[in-house]
Each structure stands twice: as structure tokens, then as C-alpha cells.
Structure 1
């Protein structure tokens, strides 16, 4: 089914596609840009996108951005993921930027949002060793002291902290009857005294980090929003985080599908292309149908969010995240199976697509958490 786009959006999609083919269109070039897959963010490419004005696509015009909505942002994310451009820092940057835009002081907005537009990276830190899916159980403590707060504790799985200018930290500033109360957001410069950033080795390369806070002093003006109200502030960003991850994985799923399709059309066994055998042909047909369903879901939810930007679409955003991430993992696995040994070889790239999709059903709220959220919206 053809995607119906405005002329402006079609031009954006075409421009991104051309950029990706030119800058990272071959495996050799992507290996060069990512240190053979170990560095998923390349600042040189990121800076070029900043010059084109793309990184500020969802940033308000008064801070130098384009001031566009969710549909445009999702298109950008989908197309850059499809083109395999190494800008992993963008997702956490735009999630963090949205929090500053909603709740930050004017100085914080100009620092962070202006930085985003100009190619700077931002990070956000919620998870702890004992608080993953149950984020509100976090214990990293920010104790009130004269002139500010003293932070102690450990954070983990913080994406892009090692390349970010700031970390948007969620810490506990008081103990209340509800664990969802007494949490506060802070703007933390990554070079501040008392913060140590330690990389975690993963199958996806250098992307996530442990953060260790030891008597780290943050002044009063580091608070983002209202002290003690971080949980409520975080809830307003659920649409954005889930839609970002959904769009990225839809693009990745499309790329895995297209690479698989190209292979089964060309690879011959028993005297004919393997894609002509019913066993593979039907699997291709099923994946193509599922991709269209996922795309229609994502487009519809993005349009609804743009129509009512102040509303939290908990059910719909969770559905989009669940569908697109699970589908991406499935398509990459099917691609590896249909490509046989070549799917396992680093030469062909399917194995790297699989590595990038497997974790997508975990970060940003696991698939199990998304299903639980969807179920709750039906009164279950």
C-alpha cells in the first residue's frame, strides 16, 4: 500500500535517503564510521545532519528548530534507521530535549535545545541496578544541602552518557508514602566533579553506561521542573519515547526485509532463485503484510498525537512500540534463517541488524511492560 505523504514530507524522506546512501551506503563505509560496529554514534555524520537542520526537527522554532510534530519526527527516525546512519545519540537527545522544553528554565532550554539543533548529544538516566521496569523504586539520592543538592548512588544502562553534554538525572529527593512521589529531575553536566561514567560492553557496541555519583554537588538551578514531581513529568513524555523507538525499529525492520528480499531473489539453489520456493515466498508475504500493518499503526498514532499534542496516548503508543520492536526482531531472525550461513556472516550485515533489534524489545519498557500497560487501559 503506498504511503500518502505531503510534498514536504516526501522531499524530506527523499533527501534523507540520498544522504544515507551517499554518506554510509556501503558496509565498508559503515564499518569505517562505527569502528566495525563498536561505536554506534558518529559525530561527524551527526554534525552534517545538524547543518542540514534535521536534528532540530522537533525543537521549537524559537530555539532554532523546525517546530514540526510527531509524524515528521517518526519519518526522520524511520528513514535514518533504514539507511543505517550511525546517529544512536539522537534518540536520547530528543527524549531529553522534550523534557527541558516542557519543564526547564529559559536558560536550560536555550542551553540544551540550542545544543541539540547544533549537533550536541544529551542523555537521560532513570534505571538503577535494582530499578529497571519498576523505575519508581530507584534509590539514587539527592540530599538537600545549602545552595543545592548532594547526589550519591549508582545509575545503569544510561545510553550515550559518554558522548553527551548533560545527563537528565532522575533521583530521589524525599521519602513519601508513594514511591512515585519525591523524585526530582536534574540537569547534570557530564564533566561535573563527583560523577564517574563507566561503559558497559554489549553485543551492540559502546552505547550504554554505569553512572557513579559520589558527593556530586548540583546547584539549585540544576533542578528541571518542580522538585518532587519528576514522575508526573516523566509520564508526559511516554508518547515520545515509545514512538521514537517504534519508528526506529520500523525502519530497521524495513531494511532487514529489503536485504532479505534482495538475497532470496538472487541466490539460486536447485536451479532457481530460492525466493521462488513456496516455503520462503510465503514467509516473505507474511513479513511484507506485517510491515504494512506496523506502518499504518505508527502513522495513525503519530497523526493522533499531532492532533492532540497534550494528550497521553498510553495504549496506542505502547501498541506501536510493542508491534514495531517485536516485528523488527522477527524480520531480522527470519532474514538470518533465509540467508543461511551468509546471514550469520558479518560480511552481509544481517547479523548486525539482528543485534540491533534484539535489545529493542527490552529498552524503553520491555514488551511485557507494554502488554501490561495495554491491558490496564482495558480495565484489566
Structure 2
């Protein structure tokens, strides 16, 4: 079983207590999210930043806590389990890790100081014809005097409507293979030539279309090396998929907790519905799957901490696949076991289900994760 140090256990309790105090009731969560229309409260996120949590995995030299992946997963698991509306944290931490690895010193210090203070970030890869096949992207950055001029469209970009800046992946050279000639650029919010349009989704305001029209950024906006964007993206997969897995673990646990409370209290045929074997066995299965997922999440986190430079495509894909599939199964079953109440907005079940289902799509679809895992076995 997962065993935390006393300090890690205390940290988990601190995050859980914060969420119970700030987001423990539906009324509180509605206040933070404009009655559920937003999945991220920047105000609440800054309160977490004041406690040092926004920069938990940012190196101490940049003002962060310098904690490892285990502590990062603890924070995300407990924050999501506590229903803290900080949906923007995943893209922010994924993007911050890229800046910390590849940006020059001046840009790194600027961006990471903002992250520690509670700024949100966004990363933009997908395009209308480049989703799972990110290497097919066509948004282009052309070298001009003193910088780069960007033209093209991006889509499904999380956080862009409130992020301090966007880490853009654009094509700077088309002469080689599709994974060559890609470059990462720092694009501050409000840059002239950038237009952001909301995409309406089941989850409310989460993602956006981005349109770049002769959008100029200076040479200093290049993050890492020109033409090396694909390799830089691959270097961040361990962190990205761990973040997504830890968040979905917390969501699955919350769904389990809420479902358990409901089926203990809801009575039909003169007894709690949870006492019927059909529901009791179903919950036993979900409890086992969630426990196994937690073991996998923290095993991968520990492995990543032991060797931060090691690429773990199999393990990273496994942990993302497992956590999101378990979360999806738990939330769908939770709605079923709650009957009509699971469908009603009076309860959180329907919102949890929406958050779980989309997790099997973003961050690399689960079909792609299975393909990656299969390839690591020579298939």
C-alpha cells in the first residue's frame, strides 16, 4: 500500500482541510465558479498560491517549494477530491515544467515567479487537422527582422481565456519530417494579432480556438531551441501524464465518496440501497480499482523522482490510461446507482462524470496511450 512520510501525510491533510473550509459546500463552489459556469477560480487559486502550493514543484531558486512528483500528486489528488475549482492547474503545471526545462534564464525567472504567485499558463498544440497527430500541425512562425511572425489557427486550448501567457507550438521549417522544424514560443496574453474565441462544451468555459494573424513575438520569445519543439514536448510527457492521472484519481475518489454516502442514506424496499448485493459488489469493485490506481500513480511518481531525466513512455501512458478509465467507470456507475438524482444538478454526480469522460480524450486520447504501451512491447 502507498505509504507517505509524516510530512507528506500532514501536507495531504492540510490540502483536504483547506478544501473542506473553502469549497466544502455546493454554495461555496457555486460562488467560486459563477454557479458552475467556470471550472477554474483564479481567486481561489491565488489563495492556494499564498500557501505556497501553486509553485509546489517549481525549483526553490525560482521561488517554488522544490517538491517532487509525489508531493505534486498528493496536492492534485486532494485538491480535486475536495472539489476545489482550479481546473486550470493541470495545464499551468505542465506548461511551467516546460519553461523550467527549456526557457532561457530571464524568461524562466519571469514566468515561474508568476506561477508561484498564482498566475495561470496555457499550452497550445492541437489544430483542426492536428489532434492526436500533433506532428501534422501547420500553424507557422516565419523569421522576420528581430523576431517571428505567427499565422494560423489552434484549437482546444485550455486556460487561454485567463492565462498570463501561452506556450505555442508552431512550425518554423517544413523541409524535414513532420516532427522536425517545430519550435516553442512564449506568447503573452494580449499580444497583438492573437484572437481567442470560446468553445462551448459540456464543462462550460474551458477551451478555446486561437487565431494568429501576423502575430509578432521577439527572438527572446523562443523557448528552448528553434526546430527542437517535438523533442521538448516528448521530454515533458512523464510530468503531463502524472498530473492528469493524479487529478483523475482524486475525481474518482470523490465520486466514490459521494456515491457511498448516497447509497447508505437512500432507502428503497425498506432498506438502504447500498445493502443490496448488486450495488455492494459494484462498490467493492470500484474500491479495488481505485486502490490499485493509487498504487500505480505513486509508484510512477516515485520512479520519476528517482530519475527525473528518464523517459518513461510505458509507465506514463499506463498511469494516464488507468486513472482516467477508472475515473470514467466510477462516475458513470455513480450516476447509475444514484438513479435520477445522479442526473440532477442538485448533486455533483453529473458534473463529476463530465470531468471524467473528457479526461480520456485530452492529454493524448486513451487510444493513443494504448498504442504507445503496445509499441513499448515491440508490437
Q: Could you say whether these structures have the same fold, taking a TM-score greater than 0.5 normalized by the shorter chain as the test?
A: yes
Tell me the distance in 2 between the aligned counterparts of 1:193 and 1:177: 30
Which stretches of structure 1, 4 residues or more, deviate above 4 A after TM superposition? none
Query: What's the counterpart of residue 47 of structure 1?
Result: 46
Please give the per-residue CA displacement for 1:166-217, whole angstroms capped at 9, x wherever unaligned: 1000000011331000000000011110000111110001010100000001
Q: Which runs of 5+ in 2 are unaligned?
A: none
Secondary structure of residue in 2 paired with 1:201: strand
Tell me the distance in 2 between the aligned counterparts of 1:8 and 1:223: 39
Tell me the distance in 1 between the aligned counterparts of 2:364 and 2:9: 31
Alignment of 1:1-380 (within 5 A): 3-380=2-379
Tell me the distance in 2 between the aligned counterparts of 1:266 and 1:168: 48
Please give the per-residue CA displacement for 1:241-275, whole angstroms capped at 9, x wherever unaligned: 11100000000000000100111111111111111
Secondary structure of residue in 2 paired with 1:163: coil
Q: Which runs of 5+ in 1 are unaligned?
A: none
Tell me the distance in 2 between the aligned counterparts of 1:59 and 1:196: 30
Tell me the distance in 2 between the aligned counterparts of 1:188 and 1:67: 26
Deviation of the 1:7 alpha carbon = 1.0
Tell me the distance in 2 between the aligned counterparts of 1:359 and 1:38: 16
Deviation of the 1:4 alpha carbon = 1.5
- Give the paired residue count: 379
Tell me the distance in 2 between the aligned counterparts of 1:355 and 1:27: 17
Secondary structure of residue in 1 paired with 2:157: coil
RMSD: 0.7
Deviation of the 1:300 alpha carbon = 0.6
TM-score normalised according to structure 2 size:
0.99
